[in-house]
Homo-oligomer: A and B are copies of this chain.
Amino acid sequence: MVGRQGQGGGAGNKAGARRAGLDFPRPLTSVDIVIFTIRLEALHVLLVRRGHAEGEPFPDAQALPGGFVDVARDRDLEACARRKLAEKTGVVSPYLEQLGSWGSATRDPRGWSATHAYFALIPASAAETALAADAQWFPLYGAGVKPRLAFDHQEILQAAVQRLRNKVEYTSLPAYLMPEEFTLPELQRTYEIVLDRPLEKSAFRTRMLSADLIEPIDKMRKGPNRPAQLYRLKAAAAPVYFARTFNAPE
C-alpha cells in the first residue's frame, strides 16, 4: 500500500508539519444540471453554448448548464446546483434531484475532473421567461436537431432521460412539469410525452385519483368540447410510488 492519503486510514504522514498532508493534486469539481420541460408537445432539455476563449475545451459546442464549484459562494452541492439553475432559467424552486456523478482522468482535457449531475423539472410556463442569453431548449426525441455535446454530457443526458422515464413508470414526477392547474387528460398527455408511449385512459384515472396526490379544485376548464375538471398538486406532494404500469393497446 503506497502513498496513502489522509482520510482513509490510520497510517498518517511522515512529517506532519503541513497539516496532515493535504498537499496532493485535487480533481476539478463541477456541477451540471439536466433541466427538463415540456414545450410544443415534446420533452425538451436546456443546453448552453460554450465560449471560445483561449484554453476553453469544446469551444462553441453545446453543453449542459453547469460549472465549477465555487468554494467561496456555494455552501454545498445542491446550493451550487440551485444557483446555476437560477442563473440560467430564473426558476428558483423546481423539482431538483441528484442524478449521479461522473469523474475520470480523461473527461476534461484540463485534467482529472469530477462532476456532480442534478436533474430538474420545470413547468412549461416557467421555461421561457428568464432564459439566459446563451441557453436554448432542445427537443429530446423526435426529428429535432441532435447537437453534439461537450465532455461526457451526452452520457449524463442519457442517464437523466432514463432515470426520468424509469421513475415516471411508478411515481408522480411528471406532475412537476404541469402548471398549477391542470386537467387529468392534460396530466396523462404529459406522462405520454415523457414515456413516448400511449397510456390506458381508465387505468390512468383510477390510479391517479387513488394515489392521493392531486386534488380537484372548484373550477372547470371549458375546452373546445366537453368541460373538464381542474386539479392541483396536493400540498406536500412528495413523489408517490405506484404499483403497476398502465399500457395502452398497439
Contact = CB atoms under 8 A, between A and B. Distances in A.
B110 A6 contact: yes
Interface in A17-43: 19-22, 24-30
A144 interface: no
Nearest to A15: B54
A153 to B, nearest CB: 11
A123 interface: no
Contacts of A243: 243-245
Mostly, the A contact residues are loop
A75 interface: yes
Given A8-B66, A12-B53, A101-B116, 11 more contacts: A3-B72, A8-B67, A8-B68, A21-B55, A22-B28, A26-B26, A27-B69, A75-B105, A77-B104, A100-B101, A243-B245
Interface of A: 1, 3-13, 16, 19-22, 24-30, 48-56, 63, 65-77, 84, 87, 98, 100-106, 108, 110-112, 114, 116, 134, 170, 243-245
